[in-house]
Amino acid sequence: MSVYTQLTDDQFADFCHRFGVSFARAIPITQGIKNSNWFIQTTDDVDGAHSYVFTLFEERPPEDIEKMAIILNQLDGKLPVAAPLSLLDLGADSAEKGYVIRYDNKAITLVPCLAGSHPQQTTQAMCHEIGAALAMLHETLQALQPAEEYGVPLYPWSDVRDRERQFMPADEAKLMSDIWQSYTDLPLATLPKGLCHLDMFADNTLWDLSLNNSQKGEARLTGLLDFTEVSVEHYVMDIAITINDFCTTWGDAEQGESVNFDRSKMAAFLQGYESKRMLGEDEKRALPVMLAKAAVIFWLLRLNVIHYNRTEGRTGDNIMVKNPDLMKRLAAYHWSHVEKAQSTVFVLEHARYKDDDKNNDVEDFKIIGVFATEQQAQAAIEQLKSQSGFKDYPNGFHIDAYPLNQINWSQGFGC
């Protein structure tokens, strides 16, 4: 990703030698915003090819990166990942493999390059495939227990929120606060958790985008990258993070940096995910708020990078900054859908028809309750349908949706 720490060719050669790799050239990788990365050409590479990616982790301690290596080995063979090379100089008596060089209190790894390219645009088919891959990741990493020993601590985003809100316009601060509060109000204790990637953006994936495959709409996933943020988190948050990038078209500067979310791509993603792991009803209800919260987190992440670049004097052509306003606009888009859903209530009624036939006259009528979501009204039906009276008239339940603060019958009626 962006190059923050400079290394000499002699240093690269020494580090690569410890992994059993003969160094020829290091090529900076400028995409991304967190770590220093280079492609490594070896003495065996020809025609400008490169075989490895050399990463110097700017923030994560070496202990966290060792955990990442174990995670990648767990996934290797089930998903297209590049597991770090092991060091050759630990000694013949070492019972464990080491994957990390410690340099200036930072970690260095060397991993094989995976084939493929970053997609400039995604398709519904790609969203379906990445959804299935993310579910497989969630399922596979359940074998690493206790999960907290393998995941890195979640970043204290609330601290960044409190710092950045001081400098925001009032409407932006309110948007962030409203989304955060709605997230806090979710039944978080009921949502399944486990080891999550938490940064599965399209530029952290590789695909076979050959002309033949592209013409058929059959781009194939060839690589999942950047496992530095793997933490114990709600699976639905990981889903939301991935959907936000894969299902959004980000316009470039000439297009006014537009943000266009595609709900048909989201539907394809969820179909792919549920082909490997079914979502619970609580997860489905939480997803709209999680989409907004995920956008807020990456809004804060980009503001945080700007903050650290400024305070640490990071400058130069190899430093890339992503526009935080794009994530702010995506957060606002998702929040508008949450607010729309929150402005509708669902009225559950029961009518006792003669012989439980809706074509017959109503003998009795009850308003059972008013609910915030249709799923809650359906759950009430499940609870009541076996009770005395209701069980004899199962066809009498009916749910109506009513927008708040609107007249739902605007005409008179005849007597």
Q: Which pLDDT does position 284 carry in this prediction?
A: 93
Q: Strand 344-353 to strand 397-403: parallel, antiparallel, or no bridges (unpaired)? A: antiparallel
Whether the per-residue pLDDT at 37 is higher than 70: the answer is yes
76: left (phi over 0), alpha (psi -120 to 50) or beta: beta
Give the C-alpha separation, 285 to 240, whole Å: 12
Does residue 317 surpass a pLDDT of 60? no
Average pLDDT over residues 63-67: 89
The answer on pLDDT for 238 being more than 70 is yes
H-run or E-run covering 327? helix 324-342
Q: Tens digits of per-residue pLDDT, 350-400? A: 988 888 888 888 888 889 999 877 778 888 888 898 898 898 888 889 898
State how far the Cα of 126 lies from the Cα of 242, in Å rounded to an integer: 12
| pLDDT tops 70 at residue 346 | yes
Q: How confident is the model at residue 210 (pLDDT cuts 50, 70, 90)?
A: confident
List of residues 6+ apart from 54 with CB closer than 8 A: 12, 15, 16, 26, 37, 38, 39, 40, 108, 109, 110
What is each CA distance from 184 to 112, 139, 231, in whole angstroms? 41, 26, 19
The rounded distance, in Å, linking the Cα atoms of 200 and 235 is 13
Q: Is the pLDDT of residue 176 over 80?
A: yes
Task: Give the pLDDT of residue 154.
Answer: 93
Alpha-carbon torsion, ordered 64, 68, 71, 76, to 10 deg: -170
- Specify the pLDDT at position 73: 87
Does residue 237 contact residue 134 with C-beta atoms inside 8 Å? no
Q: What pLDDT score was predicted for residue 257? A: 77
Specify the 3-state DSSP secondary structure of 226.
coil
Q: Report the candidate in 371, 400, 369 with the shortest Cα–Cα distance to residue 384.
A: 369
Query: What is the pLDDT, as a whole number, of residue 274?
Result: 96
- Provide the total of helices (H) and of strands (E) in the chain, helices listed first: 11, 14
pLDDT (tens digit per residue) in 96-151: 678 899 999 999 999 999 999 999 899 999 999 999 999 999 999 999 999 999 99
Which residues are registered as beta bridge partners of 220? 208
3-state secondary structure at position 194: strand
Can you tell me the mean pLDDT for 189-203? Answer: 96
Residue 93 confidence (pLDDT): 45
Summarize the confidence of residues 238-249 as an average pLDDT: 97
State pLDDT tens for residues 255-302. 677 889 999 999 999 999 999 999 999 999 999 999 999 999 999 999
Confidence of residue 2 (pLDDT cuts 50, 70, 90): low
| Distance, CA of 289 to CA of 60 (rounded, Å) | 29
Q: Which pTM was predicted?
A: 0.74
Higher pLDDT among residues 33 and 168, named by residue: 168
Q: Which pLDDT tens digit goes with each residue over 320-338? A: 568 888 999 999 999 998 8
Percent of the chain with pLDDT over 90: 58
What are 403's strand-pairing partners? 344
DSSP, collapsed to helix, strand or coil, labels residue 333 as helix
Q: Is the pLDDT of residue 311 over 70?
A: yes
Average pLDDT, whole number, for the chain?
A: 88
Give the pLDDT score at 332.
Answer: 94
Q: How confident is the model at residue 92 (pLDDT cuts 50, 70, 90)?
A: very low
Can you state the angle between helices 324-342 and 281-311, rounded to 10 degrees?
A: 150
Comparison of pLDDT for 236 and 88, the residue scoring more:
236
pLDDT band at 6 (very low <50, low <70, confident <90, very high): confident
pLDDT for residue 70 is more than 70: yes
38-47 LR contacts (CB < 8 Å, sep 24+): 38/3, 38/12, 39/113, 40/12, 40/16, 40/110, 42/16
DSSP 294-314: HHHHHHHHHHHHHHHHHHTT-
